[in-house]
Amino acid sequence: MAQTRREFLRRAVYACAGYAFGAAAFASGVERFSLINALAQGQDYKALVCIFLAGGNDGNNMLVPLSTEGYASYATARGTSGLAISETGLLPITPLSINSPFGLHPSLPELQTLWSEQKLAMVCNVGPLIKPLTREQYQNRSAPRPYQLFSHSDQVAQWQTAISNAVSRTGWGGRTADVIGPHPSGVPMITALSGGIFIRGESTHPLSIAPAPTGLDQVLVLNGFGTSTEDVARRTSMEYLRTIDREATLVGAASDTTQRALDIGKSFNVDPTLATAFPNTGLGNQLKQVAKVIKLNQTSPTLGLSRQIFFCQLGGFDTHANQVNTQASLLRQLSQAMKAFYDATLELEVESQVTTFTLSDFGRTLQPAGTGAGVVGSDHAWGNHHFVLGGGVRGGDFYGVPGLNGTVYPTLQFGGPDDTDNRGRWIPTGSVEQYAATLASWYGVSAENIPIVFPLIGNFATPTLGFMT
């Protein structure tokens, strides 16, 4: 059987360890050939890649039941308005744990392929919660609700912070990085291709970079200074200005941020190439840049991060109108970009060490808003379905917390057991905390630190949902 690069390097460590020249000489030699970081990735590297679907993706059209009764309920609710997808157009999948067929949106053929390869899972009817909540408790207010339900800004914050009973200044990605701790190189654990509270921690300082086609050797370049006498003088003056007035908090912080960028920029001195082709789309270019950062981390003699977190974003999902065409285009972009990125992790031999997952503001109402295929959309709702992708994922199945119907998929019934009222706003059975804690635990957050990252996790009977190996 052919030996992979990862296995070759692992065996080389064991073989060299017995030689008389000792560990120090071995480490020096390996570092000289830029292999020490590849060893770190091969043995203990893990990365989380968050894709935020901004605006509130409609999970009801992304995942549709194909059983006779299930599709009939869906079609009755959405068919007359033109919002329903035809049964023949849906891409069939069958979750391993539920003996019932479902269909993915027609724009997701790449994700259907990854599902069939058991690299893709779905977490169903998950959303912000303070504690488990029934329809009766929601309606009579006998149990706490997340604050400002159905508000974009508040629900975005709750998905990204995993805190629904208060305003948080940190996100669960940032807090995860906080408890793992900084890397000795000083290079941030978190790299952001888009902004969001998800990346903010108490001590974590994320790195923000531009997506492809910007080269990695250009993302932290200090522009405007050449080699002429005038340019050198201006650069000297700028360096001097950053040493004065540091007692002013904002001035000192700005100077320190500039210096950190310059220091980190020394490591981003090449632009790695990839054999994998990415779509030339907004999300495709973000994920291509993520793959290039991962490759740079493999080969750079100064990075060598054993843990990385990335944040990307695809907007446009607030589909109060023209949902049919808009969502089809956005989901096509998502499917193609996620497949290309997974292929890149195969190329880099880290497919089992990189997990990609989606978040979104909220789901959308089963009840349509408006009439006519060119006009109809849906309104803000609550519980939603999300994708998790990677070689470390228990793919080909649904995950979550079963509801009163005995499955993790909600009952598609207006005024039914999962509805807040009579519009098809599903009350989540699984919480953001449980979804996120499953990912954080796989990433390496200890059981003792899980409550630090997720303060409300103790309110839920099952702290993790089982979709990671």
pLDDT at res. 252: 84
Q: What is the pLDDT of residues 120-135, one digit of tens each?
A: 999 999 999 999 999 9
Instruction: Note the pLDDT of residue 178.
Output: 98
Tens-place pLDDT, residues 389-444? 999 999 999 999 999 999 999 999 999 999 999 999 999 999 999 999 999 999 99
* pLDDT value at 19 more than 80: no
**What token pair was written down for 68?**
């006779």
Mean pLDDT score, 85-104 = 96
pLDDT of res. 371: 67
Give long-range contacts, CB 8 A cutoff, 24+ apart: 405-410.
407/98, 408/123, 408/124, 408/125, 409/63, 409/65, 409/98, 409/102, 409/124, 409/125, 410/124, 410/125, 410/383
Q: Which residue has the higher pLDDT, 48 or 44?
A: 48
pLDDT in tens, 53-94: 999 999 999 999 999 999 999 999 999 999 999 999 999 999
What is the predicted pLDDT for the residue at 405? 96
What value does the mean pLDDT of the chain take? 90
184-212 tens-digit pLDDT? 888 999 999 999 999 999 999 899 999 99
pLDDT of res. 2? 46
Task: Answer whether 74's CB lies under 8 Å from 365's CB.
Answer: no
Which of the residue ranges 133-142, 301-310, 384-393 would you say has the lowest mean pLDDT? 301-310
Q: How much is the average pLDDT of 232-248?
A: 86
pLDDT over 90 percentage in the chain: 77
Average of per-residue pLDDT across 245-250: 87
Buried b (16+ CB within 10 A) or exposed e, 234-257: eeeeeeeebeeeeeeeeeeeebee
pLDDT higher at 31 or 82? 82
| pTM for the predicted model, two decimal places | 0.90
Q: What is the mean pLDDT of residues 336-347?
A: 98
Does the structure show a pLDDT above 80 at 17? no
Task: Write down the pLDDT at residue 67.
Answer: 97
- At 240, the pLDDT band (50, 70, 90 cuts) reads confident
Backbone angles phi, psi at 112, to 5 degrees: -60, -40
Bridge partners of 377, per DSSP, are: 369
Report residue 51's pLDDT band, with 50, 70 and 90 as the boundaries. Answer: very high
Contact 83, 358 (CB under 8 A): no
pLDDT at 40 exceeding the cut of 80: no
Distances (CA, A) of 353 to 49, 199, 235, 389: 11, 20, 42, 11
Q: How far apart are CA 259 and CA 246, in angstroms?
A: 13
Given a cut of 90, whether residue 34 has pLDDT beyond it is: no
Residue with tokens 């071995």: 26
Question: Using 50, 70 and 90 to split pLDDT, how confident is the model at 226?
Answer: confident
- Domains belonging to the chain, first-starting first, are 1-33 (no CATH), 47-219+271-459 (3.40.720), 228-267 (no CATH)
What token pair was written down for 440? 């954080």
Give the containing element (helix H, strand E) for 10.
Answer: helix 5-17
Q: pLDDT per residue over 355-380, tens digit each?
A: 999 999 999 999 999 766 568 999 99
- Residue 207 confidence (pLDDT): 95
What confidence score (pLDDT) does residue 164 get? 98
**Using 50, 70 and 90 to split pLDDT, how confident is the model at 42?**
low
pLDDT at 20 over 50: no
Residue 33 has pLDDT above 60, yes or no: no
Average pLDDT rounded to a whole number, residues 279-305: 95
How buried is 301 (Cβ within 10 angstroms: 0-12 exposed, 13-18 middle, 19+ buried)? middle
**Where is pLDDT greater, at 92 or 39?**
92
